[in-house]
Amino acid sequence: MGIDLLFRISAIGMIVAVLTQVLSKAGRDDQAMLTALAGLVIVLTMVVQQISSLFSDLKSIFGL
C-alpha cells in the first residue's frame, strides 16, 4: 500500500463532495445521495482489495 492509494481516496472524496453539493443546491437531492453512495462504494472496493492483498501476504508469510 502506497501513498498513491491515499491520494486516490482523497481525490474521490473531494470530487464526490463537490458533486453532492452542486446537485443538492440544484434541488436534486436524490441524485446527490446516489452520488455519495457511489463514491462510498468505490472507496470501499479499493479498501477491500487492499485488505485482501494483506491477508494473502500474511498467508504466504506464515505458510497457511
* DSSP three-state, residue 21: helix
The string of pLDDT tens digits covering residues 3-54 is: 999 999 999 999 999 999 999 999 999 999 999 999 999 999 999 999 999 9
Can you give the residue ranges of every domain in the chain?
A: 3-62
Give the N- to C-terminal CA distance of the chain in Å, as an integer.
22
Distance CA 42, CA 9 (A): 9
| pTM of structure | 0.81
Task: Give the pLDDT score at 24.
Answer: 94
Which residues, 6+ apart, have CB-to-CB distance to 11 below 8 Å?
A: none
